[in-house]
């Protein structure tokens, strides 16, 4: 699903160049559930942004679902994001003046799906995350866990190949974190490829494979015995 070879990325900070990713080789197969860990500044978010086509690598190759991601213009990049990827962010990033249902429907809108079908499909995913009763509510009327579940429903709405989550539990308390992780585990159980960036080891333990990043390089990459979040809930 994801194939990355010798990926380099540096940022220009004034006169200094900051080498963030120093040759990453990384492969994710379909249906995998991977967490990327590392201290802050290790390059894990940068890696996720590159995988999410929100950022571009300086050198190296990146292939997503057999499509080479290289030198894309903004229009094509946005189309690929829409088609291949679903995003979940630490700060939810819902549009605050849109209801939960409209937020979930947004990726479908950009896919050109008609209004009626859009609403039906969005409702289906809201039900899936257990928020069907909250469809008409604005994000400001919801708790953090609910917002993140709306965000997950939105990420799934366009039926992407890969779900990318950047610190999805970073803004949530432990109990809510586990609820959200339980949901993500269910999604993975259904066969969706999931990539999570986190710095919390208990969250990482709930995935099936942990990749440690240190100073822009992969320090370790090993499968783990998945801890089911439901055990804690």
Binding site for another protein (CB under 8 A): 49, 52, 54-55, 74-75, 78-79, 81-83, 87, 89, 91, 93-95, 97-98, 102, 106-107, 109-111, 114-115, 154, 158
State the alpha helices, DSSP H only, in 72-231: 74-84, 100-111, 115-128, 144-157, 174-189, 201-204
Smallest separation, CB 78 to another protein (Å): 5
Residues constituting the chain: 233
* Selection from 157, 160, 53 nearest residue 108 by Cα: 157
Question: How many other CB atoms sit within 10 Å of the CB of residue 219?
Answer: 12
Smallest separation, CB 220 to another protein (Å): 27
Query: CA–CA separation, 202 vs 199, rounded Å?
Result: 9
Smallest separation, CB 108 to another protein (Å): 9
Tokens of 177: 């974190």
Query: CA–CA separation, 74 vs 115, rounded Å?
Result: 25
Smallest separation, CB 81 to another protein (Å): 5
Nearer to another protein, 31 or 60 (CB): 60
Asked whether the beta carbons of 37 and 210 are under 8 A apart, the reply is: yes
Nearer to another protein, 38 or 107 (CB): 107
Instruction: Report the relative pairing of strands 16-28 and 2-13 from DSSP bridges.
Output: antiparallel
Nearer to another protein, 85 or 211 (CB): 85
- Secondary structure of 23-35 in the HEC alphabet? EEEEEECCCCEEE
Nearer to another protein, 22 or 98 (CB): 98
Smallest separation, CB 8 to another protein (Å): 17
Nearer to another protein, 67 or 233 (CB): 67
Smallest separation, CB 151 to another protein (Å): 10
Nearer to another protein, 29 or 136 (CB): 136
Tokens of 142: 């919801």
């Amino acid at each position: 699903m994801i194939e990355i070879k010798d990926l380099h990325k540096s940022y220009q900070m004034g006169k200094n160049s900051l080498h963030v990713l120093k040759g990453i080789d990384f492969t994710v197969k379909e249906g995998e559930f991977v967490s990327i860990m590392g201290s802050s500044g290790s390059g894990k978010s940068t890696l996720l942004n590159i995988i999410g086509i929100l950022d571009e690598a300086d050198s190296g190759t990146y292939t997503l679902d057999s499509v080479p991601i290289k030198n894309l213009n903004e229009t094509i990049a946005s189309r690929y994001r829409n088609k291949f990827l679903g995003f979940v962010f630490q700060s939810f990033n819902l549009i605050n003046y849109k209801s939960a249902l409209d937020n979930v429907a947004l990726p479908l809108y950009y896919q050109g799906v008609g209004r009626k079908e859009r609403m039906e499909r969005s409702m289906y995913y809201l039900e899936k995350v257990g928020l069907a009763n909250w469809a008409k509510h604005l994000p400001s009327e919801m708790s953090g866990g609910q917002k993140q579940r709306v965000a997950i429903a939105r990420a799934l709405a366009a039926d992407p190949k890969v779900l990318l989550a950047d610190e999805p539990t970073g803004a949530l308390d432990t109990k809510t974190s586990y609820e959200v992780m339980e949901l993500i585990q269910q999604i993975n159980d259904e066969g969706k490829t999931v990539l999570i960036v986190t710095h919390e080891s208990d969250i990482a333990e709930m995935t099936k494979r942990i990749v440690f990043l240190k100073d822009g390089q992969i320090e370790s990459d090993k499968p783990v015995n998945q801890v089911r979040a439901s055990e804690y809930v």
